[in-house]
Structure 1
Amino acid sequence: MLITDTIQQNALIHPEDTAIQMGEDKISYLELNNNVRKISSYFHKQVFRGTQGKVALYVPNGIDFLQYFLGAISAGWICIPLDLKWKERELEERLKQCEPDLVITTEKWQRKMKYGKVTLISSLTDLKPSEEVKSRVSDDSLFYMGFTSGSTGMPKCFVRNHRSWVKSFACSRTDFGLAEKDEVLVPGPLVHSLFLYAAISTIYLGGKVKLLPHFSASQILKDIEADEVSALYAVPTMLAALTKEMDNQNDNPRLKRIISSGAKWEPGLKSKINNLFPKTELFEFYGASELSFVSYINHRTAFQKPLSVGRPFHNVELSVRKDGYEVEQGEIGTLFVKSEMLFSYYLNQPDANKEVWDDHGWLTVGDLAKLDDEGDLYIIGRSNNMMISGGQNVYPEEIENVLHSLDEVEEAVVFGLPDSYWGEKVSAAIKQKEGANLSIREIQRFCREHLSTFKVPKHIIFTKEFPYTSSGKIARSKVKEIYSKGVLRS
């Protein structure tokens, strides 16, 4: 089964029901089905290299984003969402990796796009559906490319097939309890896989997607108080911002579910959300770009284990291993996951693929974990250095490369410090060259020129020395330990 298979069915069953809305603009399921067919016909006529066409979407949040995404994948193309916040260097790096055959953008954003064949979004009324074209798309066909990173800090392009998300939709229905009559608020950018998944899964199930052009805690609260929203997807930083907008409990019984991922909830945030939304089920889940859904907690029904990330979804198997063998319960090892929701592979990264897959269909992203005697999962740490700040994956090596390009910087190391709002605050310890006198503001300004805002270090420490490993490298874990304890070397 394909991700787009239920659109026509939904259009026949409830044609006038709203499928997608943003502000005052909205389209029905009948309109969505017609537009997806038009866009699919357009892509069937386009020329591409290789076995599948690849289209990059460089467009803002909105109804058109989802329509072009759905239309392209229904024609058998692979969609590559591009972040409008990426700096020129970040954008070029990712385009070089994925090499799209076509880029869809708007007139406003076209000037930043210095790549191959660029097509401006035109009015959908200009597109005409041709005769039905028999597509060779199957559930094994690839449909999505995104970007993640490994221990090198260089972004890796990952791909996944239709089946991986269709099987994930079963988790939305079975484990989260979402259904066709839900109105789901998606307040984050569609280039973020959590929010793209939230929107597409809602359409697949036949519900209503409500988008925001950009995140706004006050607008989320207005939509909730208007008695319209039945489910909300969010990362913890969004929930923290939402709590600051609220003075009293929200007693609206229509908001049945809040679904969150991207980082573990801080105890203080969980307590606030519990108190402010007393009639709402609170789901927190653990996953990864490569793994999809792994485990979840329903904070209303589960016995609370503050450090746990819950139990596996109904269609997921877990294995914790050390030196190739399953460990005893409670023992720490590397987490392996098996399900039909796993990604397909990293693009042009054969060595990286060998590192994450075993010979029996199990996948690991290097997380260290343990399982207790009741089957609850605990994530202990990461074998690589990735941080999660504000629900976004942040790789220190990428930031260090930018810092090292400053003439005044001799050495730098980037790490995350625990933070009640961000989850992990991006922090940097910097050793300047002799005679240099950079200020914190100068460093942050330079980083903003080369990195997305969420990657810019929020906490900068100047030091005269670093601890080193026996091989002469900066001991990153030791640096983090020193500054986590508040011991500054200066």
Structure 2
Amino acid sequence: MRKAVSDLHDRLSYLERPLALDHFKPHPDAEFIDLSPNGCQATLLDRFWTIIGAGQEPIIGQNGITSADTQTDRGVFQCETGGTSGKPKRIRRTAESWLTSIRVIFEKFTNSAECYGILGDLGHSLAFYAAVEAQILGYRCVSVVGRSPKEQAQQFASAGIDVIYATPTQMRMLSKSHCVLENVQTVFIGGGRLDSETRVRVQSLAPNAQILQFYGAAETSFITLAEPHHDAASVGIAFPRVEIDIRNIDSDGIGDVWVKSPYVFLEYAHGHAPDTHWQDGWLTIGELGKIDDAGQLFLSGRKSRVFTVSDKTIFPEDIEQYLNAKPE
């Protein structure tokens, strides 16, 4: 068994700001700017707040936002998993689970921000989380989903974006704009492995930005955060208030990744995942990995996707990383 607890706790300091971070609702100063071609992103976000404000349970999915018509006093909502481990499923989580991480992000990284930029559709949990975070913190948020990379970069520059939430693929595409976003201070990258070539591209695109890679899943939300000084092969150290436990460790030091945190989901609302298990407040979603002496987590892949060739264990994620690193 190998455990890691974040050392980021000691570096967090509370910063005064007129925010209601104990309430899951938009700050009065928040502004969502929808620059998507069909202009439907703002409508989706408004619908979410309307449903949850009425004490009902919103369902966030790729087909839009609907209501489960379930009365709740806990601020519960549903969102879809990414489907990377099979058919997308729908999970239930509390508003407090997101509020808790929003407090951490604000206190450590975005307390001086003014405007967020998102590249993905609000039907995807990463983009939706970023939009909700910006709304609660009272920032502007610009959505450029559906635009060309050149248009996206130009619109970000015009809006004065200083924080971006995106996947590695989205940032690779944005870097093809050959623009320079000097105002961007922080880039949060999640939803996939950040390879070294993409990191270089992102740094060229946003030369003044701190590039932060986070690892997690729809079920867990944030698990780790990698800052520039962390080993590039790792996904960083435990996110604040997250505990990581590696169990059933093999001869290579690789085992099942278990987590305990205030960010995890409640349950599946639709579908199920055979590799997802709970035990005494700990959760695993079937990821395999190891932790080094510095507390850095190195992922190997999903247990359900591993296969064997000539008595050697092969992880598809390693193949993907190799192909992404090859010149185009």
Q: Tell me if both proteins adopt one fold, taking TM over 0.5 as the criterion.
A: yes
Aligned counterpart in structure 2 of residue 306 of structure 1, from 232, 243, 254: 232
Conservation of the 8 A alpha-carbon contact between 1:61 and 1:214 = no
Q: Do residues 418 (structure 1) and 320 (structure 2) align?
A: yes
**Which residue does 2:6 correspond to in 1?**
none
Distance between the aligned counterparts of 1:267 and 1:197, measured in 2? 25
TM-fit CA distance, 1:60: 6.9
Q: What is the aligned partner in structure 2 of residue 487 from structure 1?
A: none
1:203 is matched with which residue? 135
Which digits, 9 at most, give the CA deviation of each residue in 1:323-351, with x for residues without a partner? xxxx59972110001101000011366x8
What are the residue-to-residue correspondences of 1:117-196 with 2, within 5 Å? 137-138=73-74, 141-147=75-81, 153-175=86-108, 177-179=109-111, 181-196=113-128
Distance across 2 between alignment mates of 1:329 and 1:374: 20
8 Å CA contact retained: 1:181, 1:208: no
For the 8 Å contact 1:292–1:342, the answer to whether it is kept is yes
For 1:258, the equivalent position in structure 2 comes to 187
Query: Is 1:382 aligned to residue 302 of structure 2?
Result: yes
* 1:273 matched residue in structure 2: 202
Higher relative contact order at CA 8 Å, sep ≥6: structure 1 or structure 2? 2
**Distance in 1 between the 2:240 and 2:213 partners?**
15
Q: How many angstroms apart in 1 are the aligned matches of 2:256 and 2:143?
A: 37
Provide the C-alpha distance between the structure 2 equivalents of 1:72 and 1:170, rounded to a whole number of angstroms.
23
Gap change, CA 1:205 and 1:261, over 3 Å in 2? same
Counting only pairs closer than 5 Å after superposition, residues 107-126 of structure 1 correspond to structure 2 as none
- Give the CA deviation at 1:422: 6.5
Question: Residues of 2 paired with 1:165 and 1:378: CA distance?
Answer: 25
Partner of 2:60: 81
Q: 1:23 aligns with which of 25, 35, 43?
A: 35
Paired residue for 2:243, among 297, 307, 317? 317
Q: Percent identity?
A: 25
1:355 deviation in Å? 4.6
SS in 1 for 2:299: strand
Give yes or no for contact 1:164–1:342 (8 Å, CA) kept in 2. Answer: yes
Name the counterpart of 1:65: 44
Larger Rg: 1
Task: Please give the residue correspondences for 1:383-402 in structure 2 after superposition, counting only pairs within 5 Å.
Answer: 383-385=303-305
Question: Would you say the 8 A contact 1:294–1:313 is kept in 2?
Answer: yes
**Cα root mean square deviation, aligned:** 3.5
Deviation at 1:79, TM superposition (A): 1.4
1:236: which partner in 2?
Answer: 168
CA gap of 1:267–1:99, structure 2 versus 1, over 3 A, is same
Contact conserved, 1:60 with 1:84, CA < 8 A, in 2?
A: no
Which TM-score applies when normalising by structure 2?
Answer: 0.78
Number of aligned residues: 297
Which amino acid is the alignment partner of residue 197 of structure 1? Y
Could you tell me how far apart the structure 2 residues matched to 1:354 and 1:156 are? 13
2:84 and 2:206 mapped to 1: Cα distance? 37
Task: Describe the SS at the equivalent of 2:142.
Answer: strand
Alignment of 1:339-358 (within 5 A): 339-347=261-269, 355-358=276-279
Match of 1:92 in 2: none
- Contact 1:180/1:206 (CA < 8 Å) preserved in 2? no
Following the alignment from structure 2 to structure 1, what is the Cα–Cα distance between the partners of residues 160 and 39? 24
Change (3 A) 1:179 1:421: farther
Displacement of 1:100 after TM fit?
Answer: 4.3
- 1:72-127 C-alpha deviation (Å, 9 max, x unpaired): 01222111123249xxxxxxxxx9xx99459xxxxxxxxxxxxxxxxxxxxxxxxx
- Cα contact 2:115–2:163 (8 A) shared by 1: yes
Q: Deviations over 1:29-50 (max 9, x none)?
A: xxxxxxxxxxxxxxxxxxxxxx
* Distance change >3 Å, CA 348–CA 210, structure 1 → 2: closer
Corresponding residue of 2:146: 214
Letter in 2 for 1:68: R
C-alpha spacing 1:331/1:258, structure 2 compared with 1 (3 Å): same
Structure 1: gaps of 5 or more residues: 12-16, 26-58, 86-94, 103-134, 387-414, 424-490
Amino acid at match of 2:34: M
Tell me if structure 2 keeps the 8 A contact 1:180–1:202.
Answer: no
1:6–1:192 CA distance, 2 compared to 1 (3 A): closer
Q: What's the CA shift for 1:215?
A: 4.3
CA offsets, 1:193-229, max 9 Å, x none? 0000000011111111111252431122113332611
Give the Cα–Cα distance (whole angstroms) in 1 for the partners of residues 254 and 128 of structure 2: 33
1:2 offset after TM fit, Å? 8.4
- The correspondence for 1:371, drawn from 268, 285, 291, is 291
TM-score, length basis structure 1: 0.54
Matches within 5 A, 1:443-454: none
Whole-angstrom distance in 2 between the partners of 1:291 and 1:246 = 35
> Given residue 81 of structure 1, which amino acid in structure 2 is its aligned partner?
I
Cα pair 1:186 1:198 within 8 Å, conserved: yes
